[in-house]
């Protein structure tokens, strides 16, 4: 999904969010400064032999933001638009995301500047293994545990796990999460982000007096998280999915779409566009549509100061990372639109990644119903923690989520002290 306001630096946004909360809860200057800087950054330039025999040099990053609460955790994305500031911002958001759902991790993120759509599977394997070998010294089950992100998947994680294990001389399944089940992956991991989003949307709807059963839902970004959130709200809550979109465009149907049928169409054709019986709409129209719930599940900065006043949903549930810029938050809050922020709404993925890591460390694996019930407990408790702060401090849910998260990280830093 294209970034609609590319001039916005995501890391500046992330630092602004820290300042807003630090002012609110009185975090002192030293701790505040630490919270605005990544702990460790590694940039690597590495050669890859392409299918035609040529050698191309790629640039990759890995940023470990904060380790006060445990080893760092975060995905690796393959995208031509990857920048170091984007990776820094995503690592910061992972720090707060892990803290808001109270799992014992700090945040990290990685990225390689490449266009995977124009690379063969062999080329992607070579790139992945070389990148993994370049960052191997700073990843591991007790240090930093990567996971899939944009244009990476369970196969990517399998290659990283194998590369790392070959260097160690024994199998280390806990070095990454989001692996195939046969290599120590967890049941329920693939649908965890969407499922977690559906759980917090359900809880927020109860508090807001919004009916999910028969209520309308628009999904911008019908990828993994967006499509699964739509299917769970449709199957388990009786919601009516009226719109869906991807990078090529969107579809709308007033009496509702079957998200399973839309997904089948997308698998066959590569896009939701052209779904039989649906009207063609733009991504902007999906965002601005009248609906009970809007799920932005694409890339960053799609809800801005320019279009925030056009958002008509009662609940905005952020399945994507950073879809709303800070200037838009105040507009939505004034309109009494509940925004379930990314660090809460899409934290189901990292929660089940934590479950996967815990299972790998134990060598004992849980059935799907246990994974989902544990996920539901974590997401419901986390929503309640955030909602309570929002009510007590009379702030919107994003600020409340950051208050919960940053307070937990700051407390850990204060208790540990400064070494030496």
The 10s digit of each residue's pLDDT in 312-347 is 999 999 999 889 988 899 899 999 999 999 999 999
Query: Which of 97, 109, 179, 266 does the annotation list as catalytic?
Result: 109
Q: For 178-207, how does the pLDDT look when each residue is reduced to its tens digit (9 = 90+)?
A: 999 999 999 999 999 999 999 999 999 999
Q: What is the distance between the alpha carbons of residues 223 and 262, in angstroms, rounded to a whole number? A: 11
Per-residue DSSP letters for 115-156?
-GGGS-HHHHHHHHHHHHHHHGGG-BTTTEEEEE-TT--HHH
Asked if residue 297 has pLDDT above 90, the reply is yes
Asked if residue 1 has pLDDT above 70, the reply is no
Share of the chain above pLDDT 70, in %: 98
pLDDT (0 to 100) of residue 7: 65
Mean pLDDT of the chain: 94
pLDDT (0 to 100) of residue 131: 98
Annotation marks residue 15 as catalytic:
no
Q: What is the distance between the alpha carbons of residues 359 and 366, in angstroms, rounded to a whole number? A: 8
Q: What is the distance between the alpha carbons of residues 213 and 218, in angstroms, rounded to a whole number? A: 14
Contact criterion met (CB below 8 Å) for 85 and 50:
no
Asked if residue 6 has pLDDT above 80, the reply is no
Of 16-30, 91-105, 370-384, which range is least confident? 16-30
Domains and CATH numbers, the chain: 38-175 (3.40.50.10860), 192-345 (3.40.50.720)
Mean pLDDT along residues 250-267: 96
The answer to whether the peptide bond before residue 420 is cis (omega within 30 degrees of 0) is yes
Asked if residue 155 has pLDDT above 50, the reply is yes
pLDDT (0 to 100) of residue 189: 93
Identify which of 284, 285, 298, 342 has the alpha carbon closest to the alpha carbon of residue 316. Answer: 342
Mean pLDDT along residues 56-71: 98
Asked if residue 5 has pLDDT above 80, the reply is no
Asked if residue 3 has pLDDT above 60, the reply is no
pLDDT (0 to 100) of residue 325: 86
Asked if residue 2 has pLDDT above 50, the reply is no
Q: What is the distance between the alpha carbons of residues 311 and 291, in angstroms, rounded to a whole number? A: 9
Q: For 139-148, how does the pLDDT look when each residue is reduced to its tens digit (9 = 90+)?
A: 999 999 999 9
Q: For 278-290, how does the pLDDT look when each residue is reduced to its tens digit (9 = 90+)?
A: 999 999 999 999 9
Q: What is the distance between the alpha carbons of residues 108 and 104, in angstroms, rounded to a whole number? A: 13
Distances, alpha carbon 271 to alpha carbons 93, 223, 274, in Å? 29, 10, 8
Mean pLDDT along residues 245-274: 95
Mean pLDDT along residues 46-54: 97
Mean pLDDT along residues 8-22: 87
């Amino acid at each position: 999904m294209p970034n609609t306001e590319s001039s916005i630096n995501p890391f500046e946004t992330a630092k602004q969010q820290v300042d807003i909360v630090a002012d609110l809860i009185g975090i002192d200057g030293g701790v505040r400064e630490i919270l605005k800087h990544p702990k460790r950054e590694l940039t690597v330039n590495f050669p890859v032999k392409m299918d035609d025999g040529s050698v191309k040099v790629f640039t990759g990053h890995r940023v470990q933001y904060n380790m006060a609460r445990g080893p760092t955790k975060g995905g690796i994305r393959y995208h031509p638009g990857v920048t170091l500031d984007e990776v820094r911002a995503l690592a910061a958001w992972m720090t707060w995301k892990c803290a808001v759902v109270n799992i014992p991790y700090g945040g990290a993120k990685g990225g390689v500047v490449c266009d995977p759509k124009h690379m063969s599977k062999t080329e992607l394997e070579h790139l992945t293994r070389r990148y993994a070998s370049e960052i191997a010294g700073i990843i591991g089950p007790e240090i930093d545990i990567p996971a899939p992100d944009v244009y990476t998947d369970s196969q990517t994680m399998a290659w990283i796990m194998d590369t790392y294990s070959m260097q160690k001389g024994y199998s280390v399944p806990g070095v990454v999460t989001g692996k195939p089940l046969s290599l120590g992956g967890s049941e329920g991991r693939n649908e965890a982000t969407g499922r977690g989003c559906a759980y917090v949307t359900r809880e927020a709807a109860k508090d807001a007096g919004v009916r999910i059963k028969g209520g309308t839902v628009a999904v911008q970004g019908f990828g993994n998280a967006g499509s699964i959130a739509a299917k769970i709200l449709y199957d388990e809550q009786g919601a009516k999915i009226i719109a869906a979109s991807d990078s090529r465009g969107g579809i709308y149907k007033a009496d509702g779409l079957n998200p399973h049928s839309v997904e089948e169409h997308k698998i066959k054709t590569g896009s939701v566009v052209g779904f039989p019986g649906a009207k063609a709409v733009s991504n902007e129209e999906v965002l601005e549509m009248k609906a009970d719930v809007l799920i932005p599940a694409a890339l960053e900065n799609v809800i801005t100061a320019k279009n925030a006043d056009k958002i008509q949903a009662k609940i905005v549930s952020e399945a994507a990372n950073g879809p709303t810029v800070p200037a838009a938050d105040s507009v939505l809050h004034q309109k009494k639109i509940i925004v379930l922020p990314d660090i809460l709404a899409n934290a189901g993925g990292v929660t089940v990644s934590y479950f996967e890591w815990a299972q790998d460390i134990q060598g004992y694996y849980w059935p799907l119903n246990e994974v989902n019930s544990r996920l539901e407990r974590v997401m419901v408790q986390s929503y309640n923690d955030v909602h309570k702060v929002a009510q007590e401090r009379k702030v919107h849910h994003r600020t409340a989520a950051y208050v919960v998260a940053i307070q937990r990280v700051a407390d850990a830093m204060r208790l540990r002290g400064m070494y030496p």
